[in-house]
């Protein structure tokens, strides 16, 4: 394979000119067909290089790990761990969550099979509407971005109505089972998080209408990238909902920002990664900030992540929980989750700009 140094500038320009994500519907197809060593210039992430210099391996040892079963057996201890992880990291890894290994493994297999379907079979789900029940696409929002991202995705809305493709066979059934189980885990975590804030256990659930809340189910695929130091799978962003539960196929790539540094998250087998979203920052009146995270790339292995964002009910006005405002001023104004969701899914992904719009 030719190195960057041996490729002439005209070859580089040709490679750079060939692909623009606003004109393509799959980076997988491009990655598999090009076979070259250069990526198109439109995939060069402005922040890619210098941010990697910032990676902080020493912080990996202090990543919070919470045993879900402690919420039943040793609640006070679990609440203490939740309080610390939510306030200091906005993120934790969750073990003993009760979701069977076999279900997680089957979901990963089906996820891979979906992305391996011929492009024409996935293109029926191409849609720019953030409320489309099933969407297949690439990057994040190619029409609104200056820089594109090296990922393909399937996004579906799985609660309150369950929407999912019927192919490959069995995917829908496995996804349904997983989405239901994840909702139960998220609900129990929200009860614990409420209590860890000194609130009644059902405070966040009731004030956000969680029992009819929106669940967004995303299956990301990041093909090997010939220049992984130049591109990103997803740029730095926080999630829009309350709690995101993420699993990956054993290939690392997720980084979270902690104390201004990027930390690589290499998970234990079958643990779940829990990321606090913007709506949790709002309801907790800023005590539990949403976490910035991003997906980096490698040049050898395809990475898959299955990401379920569990949020409030779409028509619920979300603001800080009123009990918290007995002793402190609100830091955010209220906004319907539907409006927040729409803005955040349609604009370029960037740090916490949408949250800044509602900060008082």
Ligand X SMILES: O=C(O)CCC(=O)C(=O)O
Cβ proximity of 320 and 284 under 8 Å:
yes
Q: Which stretch binds ligand X (CB under 6 A): 23-31, 59-67, 88-96, 246-254?
A: 246-254
Q: Nearer to ligand X by C-beta: 252 or 330? A: 252
Least distance in angstroms from the C-beta of 218 to ligand X = 5
Least distance in angstroms from the C-beta of 293 to ligand X = 5
User: Is 137 one of the binding residues for ligand X (CB under 6 A)?
Assistant: no
167 three-class SS: coil
Q: What is the total count of residues that contact ligand X (CB under 6 A)?
A: 11
User: Is 305 one of the binding residues for ligand X (CB under 6 A)?
Assistant: yes
Cβ proximity of 81 and 70 under 8 Å:
yes
Q: Which of the residues 261 through 300 are near ligand X (CB under 6 A)?
A: 293, 295
Q: Whose CB is nearest to ligand X?
A: 305
Selected binder of ligand X within 40, 48, 235, 253 (CB under 6 A): 253
Q: Nearer to ligand X by C-beta: 93 or 254? A: 254
| DSSP-assigned states of every residue in 258-323 | ETTEEEE--PPTT-EEEEE-HHHHHHTTTSSPPPPEEE---SS--EEEEEEEE---TT-EE-S-GG
User: Is 239 one of the binding residues for ligand X (CB under 6 A)?
Assistant: yes
> Which H or E run includes 214?
none
User: Is 220 one of the binding residues for ligand X (CB under 6 A)?
Assistant: yes
CA 243 to CA 24: how far, in whole Å? 31
CA 140 to CA 138: how far, in whole Å? 6
Cβ proximity of 272 and 314 under 8 Å:
no
Selected binder of ligand X within 39, 234, 297, 318 (CB under 6 A): 234
Instruction: Give the footprint of ligand X on this chain (CB under 6 A).
Output: 218, 220, 234, 239, 246, 253-254, 293, 295, 305, 307
């Amino acid at each position: 394979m030719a190195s960057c140094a041996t490729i002439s500038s005209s070859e580089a320009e040709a490679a750079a000119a060939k692909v623009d994500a606003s004109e393509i519907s799959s980076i997988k197809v491009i990655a598999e067909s090009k076979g070259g060593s250069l990526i198109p210039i439109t995939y060069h992430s402005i922040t890619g290089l210098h941010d990697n210099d910032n990676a902080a391996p020493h912080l990996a040892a202090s990543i919070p790990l919470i045993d879900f079963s402690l919420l039943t057996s040793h609640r006070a201890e679990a609440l203490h761990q939740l309080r610390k992880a939510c306030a200091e990291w906005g993120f934790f890894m969750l073990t003993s969550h009760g979701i069977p290994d076999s279900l997680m493994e089957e979901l990963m297999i089906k996820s891979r099979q979906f992305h391996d379907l011929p492009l024409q079979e996935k293109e029926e789900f191409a849609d720019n509407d953030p409320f489309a029940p099933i969407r297949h696409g690439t990057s994040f929002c190619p029409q609104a971005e200056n820089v594109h991202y090296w990922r393909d995705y399937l996004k579906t809305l799985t609660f309150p109505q369950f929407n999912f493709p019927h192919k490959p066979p069995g995917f829908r059934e496995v996804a349904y089972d997983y989405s239901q189980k994840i909702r139960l885990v998220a609900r129990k975590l929200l009860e614990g998080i409420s209590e860890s804030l000194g609130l009644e256990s059902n405070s966040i659930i009731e004030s956000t209408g969680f029992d009819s809340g929106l669940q967004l189910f995303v299956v990301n695929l990041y093909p090997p990238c010939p220049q992984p130091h130049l591109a990103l799978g997803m740029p730095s962003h926080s999630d829009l909902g309350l709690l995101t539960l993420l699993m990956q196929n054993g290939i690392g790539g997720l980084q979270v920002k902690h104390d201004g540094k990027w930390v690589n998250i290499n998970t234990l087998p079958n643990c779940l990664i829990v990321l606090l979203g913007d709506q949790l920052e709002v309801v907790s009146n800023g005590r539990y900030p949403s976490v910035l995270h991003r997906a980096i790339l490698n040049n050898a292995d395809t990475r898959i992540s299955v990401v379920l964002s569990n949020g409030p009910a779409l028509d619920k006005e979300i603001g800080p929980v009123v009990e918290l405002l007995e002793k402190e001023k609100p830091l955010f104004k209220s906004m319907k989750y539907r409006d927040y969701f729409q803005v955040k899914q349609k604009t370029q992904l960037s740090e916490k700009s949408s949250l800044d719009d509602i900060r008082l």
